[in-house]
Amino acid sequence: MSMQHVRSLSTFCPEGQFKLLDRLKEFTLLRVLDLEGCKDVKNHHMEQVCRLFLLRFLSLRHTDVTEIPCEIEKLQHLQRLDLRETLLGGAPQSLINLEKLEILDLSNRNNWRVLLKLPKGLRKMKALQRLDRFELGDDAEVAKEIGELVQLRHLGIVLIHSTEQVRESLAHSIGKITSLHSMTIENIGGSNMNFLEGLNSPPQILRAICICGAIDRFPSWVESHKQLADIYVYNTGLHGDQIFGVLCKLPNLVKLSLDKYSYTDEQLCARTEFKFPVLKMLFLVPDYGTPKVVRFEKEAMARLEKLTMRYSREDRSLQGLEHLTSLKELKLQGIKSNEALRREVDLARTESKTREKSKQFLVVVQYE
């Protein structure tokens, strides 16, 4: 069988593909190569893959590949490279020579701490639209180069013990990327996230933001942003009304997620004056710690339709469910033996039954 005219190749069985993989070099006109989940892919097959010069799409997702050769730079037509859930410990610096690459994803399924460190010369990748969960090292010049990726739509950066100069350069770069739709900034070093206040001209079409790291308060530009629709925070260590009291002003906020250590006080209160004009989904999913009580006052979050609360092993409680008049689904998660969870399930089901049939909500229990 001739392989020379095949344009797209996908594998659907995780095993039994050795004969096919050993003939990869014969697929000279191949544009799409999807090897997701194929356990027969070995490092030595990458030599053949790097000779498929017309490839536009390459997926090695969930394979056991541990190394990508520097010859990957020969795939000058490559637009998407999916390296998620592999066993890779990194990627060669020669990736910066893939000037047509639009989407680059990398993760190690056995170690979430494995990150690809952004190399010098990143500015060459002008076509990049998605860059997710990459480590920004201690080189301020690389942080500046991010600002030259003018087509970037999603940026995911992890800061590890970064210097003040690097953080300031990153803030300046973010302000230059007018095409940015979503952004994740994660700090797992010793510094805080206050540098985001220095973002003088935030992307105006930014729709989603994830802030992961200690911060004194939300940057002032967040509370005045007109397009933000999805906000996720964890490890921020905020308190008082620093979350609800600020974000309630956003005219297009539809989804809000609060994860572990996002809030330090025992009680988190959605006050009457916190209107949240279009908020429909609220996720309160810390593994442990505060808040212990989440309270809704009358007329707060009047349009909320879906509420998720994670109890895990903690003694938590929801107060004021009767004020969430638009609620359609309440999802409660936690350990089955958790008395607080069982109590809340009973109270929620009772509250739902007291409503008119059209106003009742579904109570979903998810045991861990």
List of the chain residues with pLDDT < 70: 1-2
Same-domain check for residues 318 and 212 = no
Q: Please, what is the Cα angle at 361 between 359 and 365, to 5 degrees?
A: 170
Paired tokens of 36: 């997701």
Which one of 210, 228, 246 terminates a domain? 228
Q: Residue 2 has what pLDDT?
A: 65
122 in any annotated domain: no
Q: Residue 137 has what pLDDT?
A: 84
346 in any annotated domain: yes
Q: Residue 15 has what pLDDT?
A: 81
* SS3 call for 110: coil
Same-domain check for residues 246 and 322 = yes
Task: Evaluate the omega torsion of the peptide bond into residue 69 and state whether it is cis, within 30 degrees of 0.
Answer: no
Same-domain check for residues 224 and 236 = no
Q: Residue 64 has what pLDDT?
A: 95
294 in any annotated domain: yes
Please give the residue range of the domain that contains residue 240.
229-368
166 in any annotated domain: yes
- Compute the residue count for the chain: 368
Q: What is the pLDDT of residues 199-230, one digit of tens each?
A: 878 999 999 999 999 999 999 999 999 999 99
Same-domain check for residues 358 and 233 = yes
Cβ-Cβ contacts under 8 Å for 97 (sequence gap 6 or more): 73, 76, 124
Same-domain check for residues 241 and 177 = no
Which one of 91, 114, 137 terminates a domain? 114
CB count, 10 Å around CB of 188?
14
CB count, 10 Å around CB of 19?
8
Same-domain check for residues 31 and 163 = no
Q: Residue 161 has what pLDDT?
A: 86
* Structural domains in the chain (count): 3
Phi, psi of 246 (to 5 degrees): -95, -50
Measured CA to CA, the distance from residue 130 to residue 213 in angstroms comes to 22
Paired tokens of 101: 């690459």
Q: Residue 127 has what pLDDT?
A: 97
Paired tokens of 187: 């700090």
Pick from 147, 101, 146, 99: nearest CA to 124? 99
**CA atoms within 13 Å, Cβ hemisphere of 109:** 13
Q: Residue 1 has what pLDDT?
A: 55
Same-domain check for residues 199 and 256 = no
DSSP element (H, E) containing 223: helix 220-223
Amino acid at 67: E
